[in-house]
Structure 1
Amino acid sequence: MLKWILSALSLVFGYKIRTIDIKGIASEVIDDAIFMARKPAAMMLLGICSILFFCGGAFVAIFDATRQYDTTGTVAGTATLWTGAGIAMVFAVAYVWAFLVAWPGARKHAHKVQEVRAQAKKDTVGLDQAISTFIMDVVEERRADRAMAREARANAYAKASHTEKRKTPPEDEPPRGFA
């Protein structure tokens, strides 16, 4: 059990404790793996501690505020209330710092996000142009279809009026449908 605790402490604090007797290249690989895992392990430990202390500080502040409200009916800023709120805020900031700033891949990820956004802005200009061109093409095509349909109706009406004479009812006969 003590070997595992010493291994965990050596991982977090960087001590070189040789409990495993591995020779040659395997030893160097294990040392590199421990060195590479040290910062993420420390960041996760900081995150877990930040969560615990945030919850503790928030609990102290809420407990003091509710105690004051129950006894006096108001809440005043006391040392206990401000200490609990301060602890909660400090460790909330530590948690955010650990996972958004100090995490080993955070800067690399932020750089990739900026590159993707810049590329998206470049692509958006082309995409906007393509969409507007497509919409204008559809509008012009619909205008042309309407003009052709209007012309076809006019031609059909003119053709029907020239070839066929209108039938008119005789003067003495009333129009159909009216009695």
Structure 2
Amino acid sequence: MMKWLSLALSFLFGSKPSNDLNIKAIALEVLDEVASRSRKPIALILLGFASIIFTCGGLLLSLISATHQYDTVGYFNPGAQFWSGIILAAVCIAGYMYMFMHAWPGVKAQKAKKEEKEKAEQQKHSGAPGLDEALSLFIMDHIDARKERRHRRQARHREDMMGPVKPTERGDQPVPPTGFA
């Protein structure tokens, strides 16, 4: 059982299977692979939690500053401590939004899928010739070729029956020979 497991894991993680099965080595390889694949999501989750904590801290700092000033003076005049709390909260919210909109794994894959879907939709609606249009063009071309051959045959047949045809002054309709030349 362990031999098959080691073969499957070595296939999944891209390493060559060894002839001697060492469970500790396989476990270390699996642990190393899991650690390398989970570093970015774990770092992003921790940064997200830190961002939330600093946002709450900034809002709390601003709230404490505002309430303390209102209690002591009787009115609120925003000062440096209030604005530093608001700025801290705004920067942390912006960082949080950037992190989960751009850096989170899977966002790029979702964007790529969405762009690919839009591209396919645009190609479908852009008037690119489809199978129906290509088939109709082929049939129309065939019909035109048949008409052309029919006209050539009729012209040859007329020449055989009436002799060579003289064009008129206008050049649009041939005049049949009269025979009294």
For normalisation by structure 2, the TM-score amounts to 0.50
Superposition pairs for residues 5-44 of structure 1, below 5 Å? 23-44=24-45
1:92 and 2:86 aligned:
no
After superposition, the C-alpha distances for 1:21-71 in whole angstroms (9 at most, x for unaligned) are 952233112101111011100100110111111011112112322333454
Separation (CA, whole Å) in 1 of partners of 2:75 and 2:123: 57
Change (3 A) 1:86 1:24: same
- Relative contact order (C-alpha < 8 Å, sep 6+): which is higher? 1
RMSD (Å) for aligned C-alpha atoms: 2.5
Superposition pairs for residues 26-105 of structure 1, below 5 Å? 26-72=27-73, 74-105=75-106
Deviation of the 1:119 alpha carbon: 3.1
1:115 equivalent in structure 2: 116
Separation (CA, whole Å) in 2 of partners of 1:103 and 1:114: 18
* Matched AA of 1:107: K
Change (3 A) 1:58 1:120: farther
Separation (CA, whole Å) in 1 of partners of 2:80 and 2:115: 44
After superposition, the C-alpha distances for 1:81-118 in whole angstroms (9 at most, x for unaligned) are 01111110121122112211111222222222222233
Separation (CA, whole Å) in 1 of partners of 2:41 and 2:28: 21
| Structure 1 spans left out of the alignment, 5+ residues | 1-20, 127-179
Identity across the alignment (%): 39
* Matched AA of 1:25: I
Separation (CA, whole Å) in 1 of partners of 2:126 and 2:75: 58
- Could you say what secondary structure the match of 1:119 adopts? helix
For normalisation by structure 1, the TM-score amounts to 0.50
Separation (CA, whole Å) in 1 of partners of 2:31 and 2:91: 36
